[in-house]
Structure 1
């Protein structure tokens, strides 16, 4: 073996060792951030929501207060710099010169927390994803040897953050592939597998329970035509969500005085929360409630109208939350819409057509189907929802329905909130 060959091998070994070490660090920091943000948000969202439930006046106060605090933080602490969500990650991975600045970590952490706790109808998932991606971005800038692994290390942070939130390492890696990277290299496999392993190890040590405690026993072949119907409806609902977000962001961007945006946004949000408290924050409290009572709820006209109202209003209040300055994305809203859509479809089928379908199955499949269509990432949606329930009984129908909902949505409208840019509208 020549000296040149030996030096080259040693250099490759050192580079690999450093990649392993930095992946471990990114995995721990990103997952720790995700767990802390999830725990704090769950704790204070429950407290604030309970207070608002007792005294509905807080449904008026909380949104305007939360959006105002976020505005002043952006104005004076974060130097008037807007948060663009996942598009910031695309801008960084698509160019060598543009990086995610370190202030994105506290900015998204704090603003995501404040948005949800004070009733903003979105979730902390995108806030976690961007903050954890920034951890990977900062790490790759620390040594020249990591510059070529920019996308891989950003994806490692993202994958670890998603794993921490949803308890599924596979969903973390798939989200990084389907949405962020769209390609897989050896460095990607090494860094992301290590990062999600560390993240999964952390949530195992902390004994994190699945978000939804659901008992799934079986599914029936006779339900396949109804699953197909649910997949098509999920695709339509996801397009409605996407178009709402893009429309309201476009309309609010025409308002020059930012505090007018806050006043308009909080007014709409307050009215919606007063009428439908289920829209408060992430909405997981409402999903847990209907999971627990899905087999006992008889479908009445009032209940059907409530479900329809939630399906129509959720995309609007989510869009207005984001357009008026809130921090978040379409993960939690998609899961919320999917759960209520699935329960509505199952209830109609059982009440009027005596179909004998299992409502819980339709709720779970609906959640995955709407998410799949909203972000055009069916495999992420499947494993993410399976991670949320810690059950893979419905894997086959989930696979079919998620693919169907995605392609239904793409046929109607080819963009997501992540891939659309204003220039495409011209």
Structure 2
């Protein structure tokens, strides 16, 4: 009996919802400890930095510490956990939307260490974003150690994120609201329960171990706040300013990230180090109060200062935050937005005080904090509550409400979307598309699919009667009900003891049944039902409301529901053109500085194109995105058409294996579309592609086209760099016919025609990566001059040759050529020198000139037997 008691107790405790509650408490504790550790580490190292700047020359110490700390943090992030770059909140939001981004103990540790080093080095970022990612990562790791369903795992991750925020600000209500308003947008019982518990414990433990709020010690000073009707116009003005500047701030963050990726093109350590150096240099030239962001914010809120201080503080923090975050440093945006809001609010408060002689700048500073954060994150309720919880002052509630609502409306009108959504879209992750892709099946619950008529047995029945019931039925198990309540379940396996002589036929069912049974609630999602069926390797689950049995659900019921919905979808067809639809997708690690898109269609050339793409990606630190497009007629809807993806997935899986051998991170996707060019352009936009490489057969039969309808469209419309590759086809020595070879052709002798235009320079910039495919590279730079020219200007050739010689350590020669026809001259030179590959920039000629003279790159590519690479820069 004792063993039965403990067995039932363990089963009760391990019920998914009860286990989630215990896990939420533990997550809150661990998240608080991590937040305190982060605060202590930053405080200790930051104090040492400020002390060193007072003893030694600040113009030397601050930039040096910023540079060194940035380099160290960048190396840690780049080599050990690239997904810890940035705030961390967008990554958590993506994981909660089922995007496969790593989130585990490794991420938590690197984010913690990297955040301490980065913020203590003086970069103008906050620690609240990292605490959110650390809390979520620890929760995710716990859910792996103690397996739970995908739905509960998502809710535990959200609870960990809320606990991290609550521990950072000592604001448990704000932590819960942030989970509901921004991360999960879910008001279910379990979500609220786990988030409330984790946030409460996180805030209590953080306050007990780490003092008051991690940033602002409001409780240690006496805040003077007030509110009157005369202040309302100025609070409205503050809300408008915060909304406009918050929208500008969001766009500035995206612009800074794009600048670092596409213009600066440095490695992550160098980017963060440069940002730290700039931040230290700027701060060294300012008053000593600017060396501590938290202290500056307290001065704006609690002290008396002139208008110059908040004005300078706003401009400097605005710019330095863009610089710091754009570098990819592991730091958040909570604290910078609060500082910017405090400076803006204090400035407006001083304006009212000098104009009318009323109002307190302190109240405006607090209202500005909430308003600016709301304009950036687009979470008005969280913004109001977080400032109120930090101040516990009811005088600031009405100003906060006015400013936050106005700021939210103005920011949404000026530039829709929160900073976290914009960051995800910049990374190529579109959460709305991911949600749509799950289909209607994910919205079904157990009540929608279950069988309501259930055959049950009584607990007082004997085993002999149970055997007879099984013999009359096809069921392999029966729920056991007593007084209308489900108390157990009995299966055919439970009856095997009778045949072994261990039990008699008179034994009651209650002695052998499984109690309590594994059940699902009628409101549980099919995702959770499938998880339980697979985890416990069973074929059916009783559905209950409380303890009352209301139905039973089997695997067959779920398959039938899926089949019905599929039939409903395929019955609807739409003749008009529709956007492409992703039917298969995989994600590799996000470790690069951008993405290279490689559309694949021909398995015979795929291996060669992948090797070329990998060489470019390795040189530029890009991730490889492989795309396969399945074309369907326009009368069919891409999202509702049944397609076979076996061949496409086989092609992409081969690409993944080859890319893994070449040690290049690779993502794949299969799209169903009406038009291949449309699908490629949509992928370029959605995934923020920096370069697209496409194989070309070398000719086109489409009238009025240069390279073909698909290629012309991509060259004309794609915002990124475009590379067309026509692979050389060697001839058979006996027949003289082209030999189709899946291996990469020889690429030793390179011919690079130079015209001085931007596309020619893009072709040269592509050489270092591609030349890595050569065993003994020989590079020949040529420029075709007209017969009428008396003097050949070869400065461009000589400068380019000198640069390539230094970088590639290969033989580079220049060849000025005099001829009337550029294509003929290039083709003759390639044949004379037995060149393996010609790489040239795309033509900038207008359509009329192309009709009269022909497109030079197209003529060369079509008539040459060697490999030809045509490059069109992103700026064309």
Q: Please say whether Structure 1 and Structure 2 have the same fold, judged by a TM-score greater than 0.5.
A: yes
Cα drift, residue 233 of structure 1 = 0.9
Change (3 A) 1:207 1:274: closer
Is the contact between residue 240 and residue 410 of structure 2 (CA under 8 Å) also seen in structure 1? yes
The answer for the alignment partner of 1:195 in structure 2 is 198
Deviation at 1:24, TM superposition (A): 1.0
SS of corresponding position for 1:238: helix
TM-score, structure 1 length as denominator?
0.88
Q: 1-side partners of 2:15 and 2:322: how far apart? A: 48
Against the structure 1 CA distance between its residues 102 and 362, is the aligned structure 2 distance closer, same or farther, given a 3 Å change threshold? same
Work out which of the residue numbers 293, 317, 321 in structure 1 matches 2:303: 293
Of residues 133, 136, 139 in structure 1, which corresponds to 2:139? Answer: 136
Superposed CA deviations along residues 160-204 of structure 1, whole A, max 9, x for unmatched, are 111111111100001111111111211101211111221233134
CA–CA distance in structure 1, aligned partners of residues 82 and 210 of structure 2:
39
- The corresponding residue for 2:175 is 172
Matched ranges for 1:198-217 at <5 A: 198-206=201-209, 208-210=211-213, 211-213=216-218, 214-217=222-225
Work out the CA distance in 1 between the residues paired with 2:274 and 2:22: 48
The separation in 1 between residues aligned to 2:272 and 2:124, in whole angstroms, is 14
Structure showing the higher helix proportion among its residues = 1
* Residues 291 and 79 of structure 1: CA distance in aligned 2, closer, same or farther (over 3 Å): closer
* Alignment partner of 1:344 out of 341, 347, 351: 347
1:90–1:207 distance in 2 versus 1, CA, 3 Å: closer
Instruction: Give unmatched runs, 5+ long, in structure 2.
Output: 1-7, 427-684, 689-718, 720-876
Q: Is the strand fraction higher in 1 or 2?
A: 2
Matched, 1:120 2:126: no
1:79 & 1:15 partners in 2: Cα distance?
31
Q: Which deviations, in whole Å up to 9, do the C-alpha atoms of 1:379-404 show, x marking residues without a partner?
A: 11112112222333311221221111
Partner of 2:256: 248
Q: How many residues align?
A: 408
Deviation at 1:11, TM superposition (A): 6.4
The higher-RCO structure (CA 8 Å, 6+ apart) is 1
Aligned with 1:145: secondary structure? coil
Q: Residue 402 and residue 31 in structure 1: after superposition, are their counterparts in 2 closer, same or farther (change >3 A)?
A: same
> Which residue number corresponds to residue 220 of structure 1?
228
Contact between 2:112 and 2:134, CA under 8 Å: does it hold in 1?
A: yes
Partner of 1:257: 266
Partner of 1:376: 378
Quick one: distance in 2 between partners of 1:207 and 1:321?
A: 27
Residue 93 of structure 1 deviates from its aligned partner by 1.1
Change (3 A) 1:343 1:50: farther
Measured in 2, the distance between the counterparts of 1:135 and 1:83 equals 17
Q: Which residue of 2 aligns with 1:41?
A: 42
Alpha-carbon distance in 2 for matches of 1:141, 1:346: 51
Note if contact 2:69-2:117 (Cα within 8 Å) is conserved in structure 1: yes
Q: Over aligned residues, Cα RMSD in angstroms? A: 2.4
Q: CA deviation at 1:345?
A: 1.0
Distance across 2 between alignment mates of 1:310 and 1:16: 48
User: Is 1:31 the counterpart of 2:32 in the alignment?
Assistant: yes
Distance 1:418 1:217, change over 3 A: closer
* CA shift digits 1:82-105 (9 cap, x unpaired): 525222112211117555132110
Aligned-residue offset at 1:236: 1.6
**2:49 and 2:62 in contact (8 A); partners too:** no
With normalisation by structure 2, the TM-score equals: 0.44
For the structure 1 residues 224 and 14, does the alpha-carbon distance in structure 2 shift closer, same or farther, using more than 3 Å as the test?
Answer: same
Q: Cα gap change, 1:151/1:226 in structure 2, threshold over 3 Å: closer, same or farther?
A: same
Find the aligned partners of 2:205 and 2:272 in 1 and give their Cα distance: 38
User: What aligned pairs does 1:97-112 form with structure 2 within 5 A after superposition?
Assistant: 98-112=101-115
Which of 249-258 and 384-393 deviates more?
384-393
Aligned twin of 1:17: 18
User: By how many angstroms is 1:217 displaced?
Assistant: 4.5
Output the CA distance in 2 between the equivalents of 1:373 and 1:333. 13
Following superposition, the deviation at residue 136 of structure 1 comes to 1.5
Deviation at 1:75, TM superposition (A): 4.0
